[in-house]
C-alpha cells in the first residue's frame, strides 16, 4: 500500500499515511495557555492594590483623620484598613500623590490603605482620637471580607495538581525512554519496532551478505515464498511461520534478515526482544499485539526480533525468583499471535539468538520457529569474502590482499571485520595517507585484538621480565605437550588497559577432547605461573585469568564430562539453570568434587613444573629473545625450540579459528579452551 503521489488514495480511504490536502497549520503551542493564565493571575492579584496608595497608621491619623478629611474606613479581612477620603478633600495639595494612581473609571476609592496589625487596638485608637467629636463627624468603620477566590483556588487546588501531573509526566517520559521511545505516555503499549519500508529503505540484498552460503540457501525459500506465495499454497504446502537464526553476535544475523526483506521487496520490522520488556504489567503483551497488528496491515512483510531470548526464555523454571510473570505474559502473547495468523497472510518472523538452548520449547514447536538456521563465525573463505564486501568503499593501496587479511583474522566475526576495515581507514587518515595500505590493516587488527597499543605505558624492567617468563612458560608447555593447538604468536607488547601480553593459538577443527588433551591444556594454561615460580621463586597476580579458566576446566571435567574416576560417569550440567541454589548431589559428593578438582589441578601443576624445569635452558633463551623482540612468531619459536614433537601435520593444519588467549589478568578476549562451550 504505497502512497499515491497525486495525493489521491484510491484503494483504501482509511489509509493511515494519507497526505493531507490542506497545508498544515503551524502547530499550536500549548505553552501559550500557561503564559496567558499566568499573566491574568498576576494582573488580578496585583492591579487593584496598586490603585490605592500605601500609607501608615501615624500618617493616616495625623494627616487625614485629625484633618477631618476621611469619609470612611473599611477594614478588609481584619488586617488592612482602606481609607476613603471626602470628595472635596482628595483634591487637596497634600494628597497630590493620589494623582499618580492608576485608575480605571471614576475615582471612588479607596485612596489609601495600610496594615492595621491588631483590629481591637485600632478600634480603640480611633475611638480615643475622635473623643468629643460631634456625631456627624465621626468616621464610620466598616468591615468586609474579600476572598481572593482565584488565588486561593490556584494555590490550594490547582498548584498541587499541576505539580503532581508534572512529576507524573516526567516519570513517564523517563520510563518510556524519552521522546525517541514514543515519549507520549499513551504510546507505552505500542510496539517499538523500527519499520524499514520497501519504498526506499531496505536496500540490503544477498550481495551485501558475504559467506553464509548454507544459511542463504535456507532463507532463499522464504524469499521465494514472499515473492509468489501462490506457488506454494496451491500445492497445499505450508511455509514455516518463522525461522530462528542461531549464532554468536556480530555474525550477520540482522544483516541476513534484512537482506531477505530486501530481496523479497517487502517491509521489514526490526526490534529487539528487550523492547518488549517493561516494568509495567501488561505492556509487553500489548506491544506484541500492536506489532502483529501493524505487521498484518503491511503484509507481506518480515518481522525481525533480535535477541529473542530476552522474552523467549523457558517459562517457570526459576523458582527462586518466583518467576517473572510479565515476561511470561509477553511470551504467551507472542505464542498466541504466532498461532493466530494464517500462513498465507505473508507475515514471516525471523528471530535471532545465540542461546537456543534456553528458549522455551513452545517457541520451537512446529508452526512457530520450526526452522533453525545456524550462522557460525566465518571460515577462511568467508572472512575473505566479508573483507571484500567491506573493502569496497575504501581507497586501497595495491598491496592490500583480502586473502592474507583473512588468514590473520581467524576467529573474527563479520562485525569485527567491518570494524577492522573502518579502523584501518581511520589509521591511514591519521597518517595523512592517500590510500589505506596493508600496514594500516595490520595495525587495525592488532588494535582490535588487544585494544589500543600503549607505547607509552610504563612497565618497569622487572615487571617486563616477569611477563616475558610467564608467556614463555605458556609457549614452552604448549610446544612440547601433545594434542595442543600450535602457537602462532607471543607478544609482550602492552595493550589496552590490563593486557600485559598475549599468546595466540591456532586451534584445529575439533569437537571432541580426550582427558589427556584437556589435562595438557590445563598444563599449558598453568605454564605461566609455573615459570614464574621456577625462575623467580615467587608468583604474581598475572596468572589470575589463567587460574579462572583452569578452575572452570577442572570442574567441567569432574562434574560435566564424567572424566573423574571417583565421581564416575555423571554429568551435572545445568543448561537451563534448573537447579538454582539446590545442587543435584549430596554434600559428600560436593566434598568429593572439590577434592578431586584440587587433586587434578595439583597433578597438572606438578607436571608443568617438572616439564619446565627440564626445559629450563630453553625457557631462559625464549624469555630473553622475547624481551628483546617483544613479538615472536611460530617460525621464531621453531628456531629456538626445534620442530614441535607431536606435530605430524603442522603444514597441513588449516589456518583457521585462531583464538586469542589473553594474558595475564583479565585481558579481554576469548577463552580458547573452555570445555563447557
Binding site residues, Zn ion, CB under 5 A = 528, 546, 663-664
Q: Which of residues 332-361 bind ligand ADP (CB under 6 A)?
A: 352
Q: Which listed residue (193, 212, 222, 619) binds ligand ADP by CB under 6 A?
A: 212
> Around Cβ 108, how many Cβ atoms within 10 Å?
9
In the chain, what's the furthest Cα-to-Cα distance?
A: 135
In sequence order, which residues have a C-beta less than 8 Å from that of residue 602 and are 6 or more positions away?
A: none
Grid-cell match 587433586, residue found: 599
Partner whose footprint covers residue 356, from ligand ADP, Zn ion, none (CB < 5 to 8 Å by kind): none
Distance CA 295, CA 271 (A): 13
**DSSP state for residue 81 in the 8-state scheme:** E
Which of 373/531 has CB closer to Zn ion? Answer: 531
Q: Which one of Zn ion, ligand ADP, none is in contact with 389 (Cβ closer than 5 to 8 A by kind)?
A: ligand ADP
Nearer to Zn ion, 496 or 528 (CB): 528
> Could you identify the residue written with the cell 521487496?
265
Which of 379/463 has CB closer to Zn ion? 463
Q: Could you tell me which stretch among 16-24, 204-212, 491-499, 607-615 binds ligand ADP (CB under 6 A)? A: 204-212
Is residue 272 close enough to count as binding ligand ADP by CB under 6 A?
no
CB of 239 to ligand ADP, least distance (A): 23
Residues 597, 601, 604, 606, CA torsion sign: negative
471 catalytic residue (yes or no): yes
Among 193, 210, 373, 405, binds ligand ADP (CB under 6 A): 210
**330 lies in the site for ligand ADP, by CB under 6 A:** no
Q: Which is nearer to ligand ADP, 86 or 216 (CB)?
A: 216
Q: Minimum Å distance from CB 359 to ligand ADP?
A: 16
- Contact between 521 and ligand ADP by CB under 6 A: the answer reads no
Q: In the numeric block, which cell numbers belong to residue 647? A: 606435530
Choose from ligand ADP, Zn ion, none: what does 253 bind? Cβ within 5-8 Å by kind: ligand ADP
Which one of the spans 205-213, 425-433, 517-525, 591-599 is the region binding ligand ADP (CB under 6 A)? 205-213
Chosen from ligand ADP, Zn ion, none, partner binding at 663 (C-beta under 5 to 8 Å by type) = Zn ion
Give the contacts of 348 (CB within 8 A, at least 6 positions apart).
222, 225, 226, 239, 240, 241, 242, 243, 300, 301, 302, 303
DSSP 286-342: HHHHHHHHHHHHH-SEEEEEESTHHHHBPTT--TTTT--HHHHHHHHHHHHHHHHS-
In the complex, least distance from residue 382 CB atom to ligand ADP, rounded to whole angstroms: 7
Nearer to ligand ADP, 381 or 638 (CB): 381
Contact pattern from residue 383 through residue 402 relative to ligand ADP, giving x for each residue in contact according to CB under 6 A and a dash for the rest: ---x--x-------------
Q: Where are the alpha helices (DSSP H) in 52-98?
A: 57-59
Give me the least distance between CB of 571 and ligand ADP, in Å please.
30
Segment near ligand ADP (CB under 6 A), from 208-216, 292-300, 613-621, 667-675?
208-216
CB neighbour list of residue 331: distance below 8 Å, 6 or more residues apart: 311, 312, 313, 315, 360, 363
Q: Quick check: 273 binds ligand ADP (CB under 6 A)?
A: no
User: Based on CB atoms, which residue is closest to ligand ADP, 212 or 506?
Assistant: 212
**DSSP result, 176-189:** TTTGGGT-SGGGTT
By a kind-dependent CB cut-off of 5 to 8 A, residue 210 interacts, out of ligand ADP, Zn ion, none, with: ligand ADP
For 127-180, where are the E strands, in sequence order?
141-144
* Residues in region 222-251 near ligand ADP by CB under 6 A: 249-251
Tell me the C-alpha distance between 470 and 547, whole Å: 13
Length of the chain: 677
DSSP states along 391-460: HTTS-B-TT--HHHHHHHTTT--HHHHHHHHHHHHHHHHHTT-SSB-HHHHHHHHHHHHHSSB-TT----
Options 91-99, 393-401, 413-421, 526-534: segment touching ligand ADP (CB under 6 A): 413-421
Please identify, using beta-carbon distances, which residue of 478 and 528 lies nearer to Zn ion: 528
Q: Nearest approach, Cβ of 349 to ligand ADP (angstroms)?
A: 15
Residue bearing cell 494612581:
101
Q: How far is the CB of 389 from ligand ADP (least distance, A)?
A: 5
If one asks whether residue 545 binds ligand ADP (CB under 6 A), the answer comes out as no
Enter the DSSP assignment of 355.
-
Minimum CB distance to Zn ion, residue 662 (Å): 9
Q: Is 254 an interacting residue with respect to ligand ADP (CB under 6 A)?
A: yes
- 507 makes contact, choosing from ligand ADP, Zn ion, none, with CB < 5 to 8 Å by partner type, with none
Kindly name the residue from 326, 385, 423, 471 that is annotated as catalytic: 471
The rounded distance, in Å, linking the Cα atoms of 7 and 646 is 76
* 414: contact with ligand ADP by CB under 6 A: yes
Smallest gap, in angstroms, from Cβ of residue 392 to ligand ADP?
A: 10
314-342 in b/e burial notation, b at 16+ Cβ within 10 A?
A: bbebeeeeeeeebbbbbbbbbbebbeebe
Site pattern 560..599 for ligand ADP (x: CB under 6 A): ----------------------------------------
Q: Is 209 a binder of ligand ADP (CB under 6 A)? A: yes
**405 lines the binding site for ligand ADP (CB under 6 A):** no
* Choice between 196 and 502, CB closer to Zn ion: 502
Closest CB 327 distance from Zn ion, rounded Å: 40
Tell me: does residue 530 bind ligand ADP (CB under 6 A): no
Per-residue cell: 469: 617468563
How far apart are CB 402 and ligand ADP at their closest, in Å?
A: 12
Q: Which three cell numbers stand for residue 4?
A: 499515491
Residue 211 lies near ligand ADP (rule: CB under 6 A):
yes
DSSP code string of 426-437: HHHHHTT-SSB-
Could you tell me if 370 and 364 are in contact, meaning their C-beta atoms sit under 8 angstroms apart? yes
Report the nearest approach of Zn ion to the CB of residue 667 (Å): 9
Query: Is residue 252 close enough to count as binding ligand ADP by CB under 6 A?
Result: yes
Contact call for residues 126 and 139 (beta carbons, < 8 A):
yes
Q: What CA–CA distance (Å, rounded) separates 324 from 327?
A: 6
Contact between 194 and ligand ADP (CB under 6 A)? Answer: no
Please identify which residue in 73, 255, 338, 611 interacts with ligand ADP, judged by CB under 6 A. 255
528 binds, among Zn ion, ligand ADP, none (CB under 5 to 8 A by kind): Zn ion
| 483 φ/ψ angles, rounded to the nearest 5 degrees | 75, 20
Say if residues 611 and 617 touch (Cβ distance below 8 Å).
no
Q: Report, in Å, the least distance between residue 370 CB and Zn ion.
A: 45
| Closest CA relative to residue 448, chosen from 125, 235, 669 | 669
105's CB contacts (< 8 A; 6+ apart) are: none
478's contact among ligand ADP, Zn ion, none, with CB below 5 to 8 A by partner kind, is none
- Judged by beta carbon distances under 5 to 8 A according to partner kind, the member of ligand ADP, Zn ion, none in contact with residue 546 is Zn ion
- Residue numbers annotated as active site: 471
Residues that bind ligand ADP (CB under 6 A): 209-212, 249-255, 352, 386, 389, 414-415, 418
Amino acid at each position: 500500500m504505497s502512497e499515491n503521489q497525486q495525493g489521491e488514495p484510491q484503494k483504501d480511504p482509511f489509509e493511515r499515511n494519507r497526505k493531507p490536502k490542506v497545508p498544515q497549520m503551524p502547530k499550536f503551542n500549548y505553552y501559550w495557555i500557561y503564559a496567558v493564565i499566568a499573566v491574568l493571575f498576576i494582573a488580578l492579584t496585583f492591579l487593584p492594590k496598586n490603585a490605592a496608595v500605601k500609607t501608615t497608621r501615624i500618617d493616616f491619623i495625623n494627616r487625614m483623620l485629625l484633618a477631618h478629611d476621611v469619609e470612611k474606613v473599611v477594614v478588609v479581612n481584619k488586617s488592612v484598613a482602606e481609607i476613603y477620603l471626602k470628595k472635596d478633600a482628595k483634591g487637596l495639595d497634600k494628597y497630590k500623590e493620589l494623582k499618580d494612581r492608576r485608575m480605571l473609571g471614576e475615582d471612588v476609592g479607596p485612596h489609601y490603605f495600610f496594615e492595621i496589625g491588631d483590629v481591637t487596638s485600632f478600634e480603640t485608637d480611633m475611638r480615643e482620637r475622635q473623643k468629643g467629636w460631634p456625631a456627624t463627624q465621626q468616621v464610620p468603620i466598616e468591615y468586609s471580607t474579600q476572598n481572593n477566590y482565584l488565588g486561593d483556588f490556584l494555590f490550594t487546588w490547582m498548584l498541587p495538581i499541576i505539580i503532581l501531573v508534572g512529576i507524573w509526566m516526567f516519570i513517564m517520559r523517563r520510563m518510556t525512554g524519552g521522546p525517541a521511545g514514543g515519549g507520549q505516555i499513551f504510546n507505552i503499549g505500542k510496539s517499538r519496532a523500527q519499520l524499514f519500508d520497501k519504498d526506499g529503505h531496505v536496500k540490503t540484498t544477498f550481495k551485501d551478505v558475504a559467506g553464509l552460503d548454507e544459511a542463504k540457501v535456507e532463507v532463499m525459500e522464504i524469499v521465494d515464498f514472499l515473492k509468489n506465495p501462490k506457488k506454494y499454497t496451491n500445492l497445499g504446502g505450508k511455509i514455516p511461520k518463522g525461522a530462528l537464526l542461531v549464532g554468536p553476535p556480530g555474525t550477520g544475523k540482522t544483516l541476513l534478515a534484512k537482506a531477505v526483506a530486501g530481496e523479497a521487496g517487502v517491509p521489514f520490522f526490526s526490534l529487539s526482544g528487550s523492547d518488549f520488556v517493561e516494568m509495567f504489567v501488561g505492556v509487553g503483551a500489548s506491544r506484541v499485539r500492536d506489532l502483529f497488528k501493524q505487521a498484518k496491515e503491511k503484509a507481506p512483510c518480515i518481522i525481525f526480533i533480535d535477541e529473542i531470548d530476552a522474552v523467549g526464555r523457558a517459562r517457570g523454571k526459576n523458582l527462586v525468583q518466583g518467576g517473572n510473570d510479565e515476561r511470561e505474559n509477553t511470551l504467551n502473547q507472542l505464542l498466541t499471535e504466532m498461532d493466530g495468523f494464517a500462513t498465507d497472510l505473508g507475515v514471516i518472523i525471523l528471530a535471532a539468538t545465540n542461546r537456543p538452548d534456553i528458549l522455551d520449547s513452545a517457541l520451537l514447536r512446529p508452526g512457530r520457529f520450526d526452522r533453525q538456521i545456524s550462522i557460525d563465525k566465518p571460515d577462511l573463505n568467508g572472512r575473505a569474502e566479508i573483507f571484500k564486501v567491506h573493502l569496497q568503499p575504501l581507497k586501497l593501496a595495491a598491496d592490500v590482499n583480502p586473502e592474507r587479511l583473512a588468514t590473520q583474522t581467524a576467529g573474527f566475526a563479520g562485525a569485527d571485520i567491518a570494524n577492522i576495515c573502518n579502523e584501518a581507514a581511520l589509521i591511514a587518515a591519521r597518517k595523512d595517507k592517500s590510500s589505506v595500505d596493508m600496514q594500516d590493516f595490520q595495525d587495525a587488527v592488532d588494535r582490535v585484538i588487544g585494544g589500543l597499543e600503549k607505547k607509552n605505558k610504563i612497565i618497569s624492567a622487572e615487571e617486563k621480565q616477569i611477563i616475558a617468563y610467564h608467556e614463555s612458560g605458556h609457549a614452552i608447555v604448549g610446544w612440547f605437550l601433545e594434542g595442543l593447538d600450535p602457537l602462532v604468536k607471543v607478544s609482550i607488547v602492552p595493550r589496552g588497559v590490563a593486557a600485559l601480553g598475549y599468546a595466540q593459538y591456532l586451534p584445529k577443527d575439533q569437537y571432541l577432547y580426550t582427558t589427556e588433551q584437556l589435562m595438557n591444556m590445563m598444563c599449558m594454561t598453568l605454564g605461566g605461573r609455573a615459570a614464574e615460580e621456577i625462575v623467580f621463586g615467587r608468583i604474581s597476580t598475572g596468572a589470575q585469568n589463567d587460574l579462572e579458566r583452569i578452575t572452570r576446566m577442572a570442574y567441567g571435567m569432574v562434574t560435566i564430562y564424567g572424566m573423574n574416576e571417583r565421581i564416575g560417569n555423571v554429568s551435572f550440567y545445568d543448561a537451563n539453570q534448573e537447579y538454582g541454589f539446590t545442587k543435584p548431589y549430596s554434600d559428600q559428593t560436593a566434598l568429593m568434587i572439590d577434592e578431586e578438582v584440587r587433586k587434578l589441578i595439583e597433578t597438572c601443576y606438578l607436571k608443568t613444573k617438572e616439564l619446565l624445569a627440564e626445559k629450563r635452558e630453553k625457557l631462559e633463551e625464549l624469555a630473553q629473545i622475547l624481551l628483546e623482540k617483544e613479538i615472536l612468531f611460530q617460525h621464531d619459536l621453531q628456531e629456538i625450540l626445534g620442530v614441535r614433537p607431536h606435530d605430524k601435520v603442522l603444514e597441513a593444519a588449516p589456518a583457521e579459528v585462531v583464538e586469542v588467549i589473553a594474558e595475564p589478568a583479565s585481558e579481554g578476549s576469548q577463552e580458547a579452551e573452555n570445555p563447557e562451550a
